[in-house]
Amino acid sequence: MPDTVTPAKPERWRPSVTVAAIVWRDDPDGHRRFLLVEEHTAEGLRLNNPAGHLDPRESPQQAVEREALEETACTFTPTHLLGVYLSRFQRESTGEDITYLRLAYAGTAGEPDPARSLDDGIVRTLWLTLDEVRQSAARHRSPLVLRCIEDLQAGRQLPLDTVLTDSSIYR
C-alpha cells in the first residue's frame, strides 16, 4: 500500500477578544463628554476608548473594569452592555492581520486616583464632545471608537447579564 500524506489541518481561526469601556459625563455647560485615552501604538499616537484584552480566568466585565482602571486610573462601573463588535485590522508595517471581537460596556467612572499611574503606553486621558470625537476620527485606533460612542448616543442597551461567565472560567 502506498504511503499517503494526510493534509495538514488548517490552524483554527481565533479572534482576539477585547473589552472596551464607553464612559460619558455631562459637563456644567450641558455638553456630553466621552472619556478617551491617547496611547502609543505601532501606528503612532492614537485615540481609543479605554480598552484591552480579556485575560485568562476573568469575566468580560471584570476585564473591562480592570482595563479602565489601568488605562485611566479611574474606577469604572458598568451600567449595561453596549454591544458585541467584530472588526478586522491589517497592520501596514508588517502585514499582520488581526480580527477583534470587542465587548463594549457603557458606564460611569470615578475621579482619577492620584496614587495610580497610567498603564504603559498611555500618554493621557481626554474628555471629548461627540463633535470632537468625530473630528479626530483619523487618529482613532479603530473605527469602533466612534461607532461605540454613536451607539451609546443612539440608546443601545443590553443587560449586563447578557454575557454569562460560567464558573469553569475561574478554575
The predicted pLDDT at position 95 comes to 81
List pLDDT tens digits, range 115-149: 999 999 999 999 999 999 999 999 999 999 999 99
Could you tell me the domains of the chain?
16-161 (3.90.79.10)
106 is written with which cell numbers?
Answer: 457603557
CA 21 to chain centre: 6
> How far apart are alpha carbons 39 and 51 in whole angstroms?
11
- The residue ranges of the chain whose pLDDT is under 70 are 1-4
pTM value?
A: 0.91
CB 62 within 8 A of CB 77: no
> How far apart are alpha carbons 160 and 62 in whole angstroms?
12
